[in-house]
Structure 1
Amino acid sequence: MRRNTSITLLSVGHACVDVYQGAVASLIPFLVAHRGYGYAAASGVVLAASLLSSVAQPFFGALTDRRAVPWLLPASTLLAGVGIALSGLGGTYALTLVCVALSGIGVAAYHPESARIARQAARGAHSAMGWFSLGGNVGFALAPLLVAAVVGTGGLRWTPVLVLPALVGTGLCLVVLRTPGRRPSGRAGAAPTGPGDDRASFVKLSLAVMCRSVVFIGLSTFLSLYAEQRLGGSTAAGTAALFLLYLGGAAGSLLGGALAERWDRVTVCRWSYLVSVVAVAGVVVVPGPALYGCIALTSAGLYVPFSLQVTLGQDYLPSRVGTAGGITLGLAVSVGGLASPLIGRLADATSLRTALASLVLMPVLSWLLLRTMPEPAAPRPPAEVPLPTAEMGQPSPEGGEQKDDMRPDSPTPWR
């Protein structure tokens, strides 16, 4: 497949997975209404989805550094969907937590391998990685609409219908893995062409992404309830606010890739976090429908750095691209869910507005961390070789036997 086709299919598949990250937060108002959960209990559901995901992401990243595991893409997509599909059927709180935790593991398994394959298919283009990230953002954006349409119509017993995106995503993953095409050669564990690891900068970047995650997941968890309070108690107002938070990320990802083609990635990320400080403060203090404008600006500010941070992590840690992707696209993103119970407890003790006001500090910390980070030198693009199919040994388009370019003895300048 040509690069654009590969990125398009990977982007749509990314959307089919990340819809389940957005679905967890989208289910919160229904769990509160139907099961009487308080803020702390509701945030515990988000924690369950994030906790195992956070722990599992580095493991899956290290696994992809050792060997290619393309089968993880369809398997993890299906697991993410099945977990959410079953979450509404568990009558007990503990069973609900187990179901969303299984979905979180599926999300964790998907991202390191998909980020590695997408970076290779993109051949180093920031705009192409922006399109890949766009898919995840679209999935997030569609989640509240999908959950509202399904659960709002039939109640929590209809959550099995939510498995449909996973079935579509699984099919797309199989198409990508079975269709011959062209992408950079690659195997896990080889060193790229370029400078060595900059672990200090990678740690700073990971901390900055964690701070971003606390803001984003904190808003994702409580923004729907907050908008209902601020705008007259309408469920539609909460759904619209959450949809806008996720949809603005789609524009932010594309804008981030375009800006990085003109300025360096660190500079773009730094300015984006400054914008986020003002925008998050606006969400807390701006009255009336203007709240939606602040939500859109917050979303763009938090998502402009998203795909750029993934490639920055890979360039800071070029000898462990899978681990870098697992942390910047997975662990550091999911870890925000670990802070959500604290935000929930603060909301129970004070008010939801006070709890959300505490989030303003997070993009400030991200900005301070980025001030001390250099722009890494990008690795040189490798030569193209045929994309291996899911079943090794099938005939290649040029004739003869298609070989696995991810074998341990296959050199690559990317890994």
Structure 2
Amino acid sequence: MSQQAVSQRREAPKASETTIYKILIVIGLCHLLNDAIQAVVPAMFPILEKSMGLSFTQLGMIAFALNMVSSVMQPVVGIYTDKKPMPFALPIGLAFTFIGVLGIGFAPNFGMIVISVIFIGIGSAVFHPEGSRVAYMAAGSRRGLAQSIYQVGGNTGQALAPLITALILVPLGQIGASWFSIAAALAVFLLIYIAKWYNEGLSSKPFMEKKKNTNQTNQTGLPKEIKRALVLILLLIFARSWYISGMTNFYAFYGIKEYTLTIKQSQLFLFAFLVSGAFGTFFGGPLADRFGKKKVISFSMLGTLPLSILLPHVSPAIAFIFLVLTGFILMTSFSVTVVYAQELVPGKIGTMSGLTVGLAFGMGAIGSVGLGYIADLIGLQMMIIGLGMLPLLGLTAFLLPSDQKVWEWNKQ
């Protein structure tokens, strides 16, 4: 059985094993631009809180509107495009983002801001499942690395949010957000190029062979073991997303209150957390290709726990170091969980991407409202302390099936 599997791998077409780095870099850059625009929303929270007098709950509702629209639509888009791929949905989605970011810059009230971020959420929902499919098609034999290149673009875009606040939004105010319409326009043009390559790839031999395998998978239901593994992956994403949401949306306020930092200084702390997370995302994929996906996922959760618990109780200098370490370790699992889910259910690339990444946005959305309400109710400091306990849920990673087991399930 194992010899047959090895011989099948040797007979596989070389084209399907080739990693197309040019496409991966371009789609990663588009991911960076998309998520940098999306990151403008939480980056504006300190400014909106002052200019419009918004409460933590209202700020959480803005994040909820952005992330919930994206998370609800992502699996829907993924399911549909698994059946009928839509290459040119990528630039169309970013056109919605273009409208949304312009709207934020000129929104006169809370209601218009919510409507604008819904447009950005729609663009993100369309982009992420199809962008992940492009990364999968261009991956060849290096799926972990390919997904890391794609996902690190998005995380780098998110990491730019504090710099956006310090360099653009603080001096220019709310209208500064409209400048990011230029980034959206650039992404649209790049995605037209990607869409043409994607469209040509749909008729290729490797893709058609994968399509046949997908049809076979559709005819049989998922075994209980795979369903159980998917539930565990979603639980891990839940814990990680709530923690990241709390840090992204509220840690700047914590730094201002507890450490007497300025807005610019607090954004640098947050930048350290996010940019180290981007590095963690990039290294997570290659590490998983070498050491195994389960090991990387388990390490990211176990390694984060002591740091997240101690973080609210240390000095500003130590907190900065802990933020760097926490961001790096926690985010090594980001792209790996996507690839793990895709390999659990082969042939459902868009669905699994929409479910895992989309769920991350959705859990972040619910977390934004819930954590904002808790901060208003018991105080920001107590909320941050409680937040540090969330990685405890991540220890369920040790219950995941091994990579070898997943590979055996795929061969049955």
Which residue matches 1:266? Answer: 294
Mapped contact 2:31–2:150 kept (Cα < 8 A): yes
Task: Give me the whole-angstrom Cα distance separating, in 2, the residues matched to 1:273 and 1:299.
Answer: 11
Mapped contact 1:74–1:170 kept (Cα < 8 A): yes
Q: Does 1:117 align with 2:144?
A: no
Note closer, same or farther for the CA distance 1:132–1:249 as it changes in structure 2 (3 Å cut). same
Where structure 1 has 5 or more consecutive residues not aligned to the other structure, the ranges are: 381-412
C-alpha offsets along residues 40-76 of structure 1, whole Å, 9 cap, x if unaligned?
1111111111121121111111111111111121121
Which residue matches 1:186? Answer: 207
Task: Give me the whole-angstrom Cα distance separating, in 2, the residues matched to 1:289 and 1:133.
Answer: 29
Residue 186 of structure 1, CA deviation: 2.5
Q: Does 1:39 align with 2:67?
A: no
**Quick one: which amino acid aligns to residue 266 of structure 2?**
G
Task: Give me the whole-angstrom Cα distance separating, in 2, the residues matched to 1:101 and 1:241.
Answer: 28
Task: Give me the whole-angstrom Cα distance separating, in 2, the residues matched to 1:115 and 1:256.
Answer: 16
Which residue matches 2:145? Answer: 127
| Matched ranges for 1:34-73 at <5 A | 34-73=51-90
Aligned mate of 1:375, from 375, 384, 402: 402
Mapped contact 1:40–1:348 kept (Cα < 8 A): yes
| Matched ranges for 1:329-348 at <5 A | 329-348=357-376
| Matched ranges for 1:303-322 at <5 A | 303-322=331-350
Note closer, same or farther for the CA distance 1:379–1:51 as it changes in structure 2 (3 Å cut). same
Mapped contact 1:202–1:317 kept (Cα < 8 A): no
Aligned mate of 2:185, from 162, 167, 176: 167
**Quick one: which amino acid aligns to residue 109 of structure 1?**
V
Task: Give me the whole-angstrom Cα distance separating, in 2, the residues matched to 1:363 and 1:194.
Answer: 37
Which residue matches 1:326? Answer: 354
Which residue matches 1:288? Answer: 316
Note closer, same or farther for the CA distance 1:148–1:75 as it changes in structure 2 (3 Å cut). farther
Task: Give me the whole-angstrom Cα distance separating, in 2, the residues matched to 1:379 and 1:166.
Answer: 39
Q: Does 1:74 align with 2:91?
A: yes
Q: Does 1:86 align with 2:103?
A: yes
Task: Give me the whole-angstrom Cα distance separating, in 2, the residues matched to 1:219 and 1:192.
Answer: 39
CA root-mean-square deviation: 2.5
Match of 1:88, SS state, is helix
Q: Does 1:154 align with 2:172?
A: yes
Note closer, same or farther for the CA distance 1:184–1:331 as it changes in structure 2 (3 Å cut). farther
Mapped contact 2:19–2:140 kept (Cα < 8 A): no
Where structure 2 has 5 or more consecutive residues not aligned to the other structure, the ranges are: 1-17
Which residue matches 1:238? Answer: 266
Task: Give me the whole-angstrom Cα distance separating, in 1, the residues matched to 2:72 and 2:215.
Answer: 30
Residue 25 of structure 1, CA deviation: 1.3
Which residue matches 1:407? Answer: none
Mapped contact 2:70–2:361 kept (Cα < 8 A): no
Which residue matches 1:220? Answer: 248
Residue 204 of structure 1, CA deviation: 1.6
Task: Give me the whole-angstrom Cα distance separating, in 2, the residues matched to 1:186 and 1:139.
Answer: 30
C-alpha offsets along residues 9-48 of structure 1, whole Å, 9 cap, x if unaligned?
1110110111123222111111111111121111111111
Residue 94 of structure 1, CA deviation: 1.4
Task: Give me the whole-angstrom Cα distance separating, in 2, the residues matched to 1:4 and 1:320.
Answer: 23
Which residue matches 1:177? Answer: 195
Note closer, same or farther for the CA distance 1:166–1:3 as it changes in structure 2 (3 Å cut). same
Aligned mate of 2:390, from 362, 372, 379: 362
Match of 1:31, SS state, is helix
Note closer, same or farther for the CA distance 1:209–1:351 as it changes in structure 2 (3 Å cut). same
Range with bigger deviation, 304-313 or 203-212: 203-212
Residue 88 of structure 1, CA deviation: 3.4
Task: Give me the whole-angstrom Cα distance separating, in 2, the residues matched to 1:215 and 1:45.
Answer: 18
Which residue matches 1:15? Answer: 32
Which residue matches 2:10? Answer: none
**Quick one: which amino acid aligns to residue 135 of structure 2?**
A
Which residue matches 1:143? Answer: 161
Note closer, same or farther for the CA distance 1:129–1:372 as it changes in structure 2 (3 Å cut). same
TM-score normalised by length of structure 2: 0.86
Residue 246 of structure 1, CA deviation: 1.5
Match of 1:186, SS state, is helix
Number of residue pairs matched by the alignment: 381
% identity of equivalent residues:
24
In proportion to residue count, which structure has more helix?
2
Task: Give me the whole-angstrom Cα distance separating, in 2, the residues matched to 1:267 and 1:194.
Answer: 30
Which residue matches 1:387? Answer: none
Note closer, same or farther for the CA distance 1:264–1:30 as it changes in structure 2 (3 Å cut). same
Residue 332 of structure 1, CA deviation: 3.1
Mapped contact 2:274–2:327 kept (Cα < 8 A): yes
Note closer, same or farther for the CA distance 1:141–1:208 as it changes in structure 2 (3 Å cut). same
Mapped contact 2:301–2:394 kept (Cα < 8 A): yes
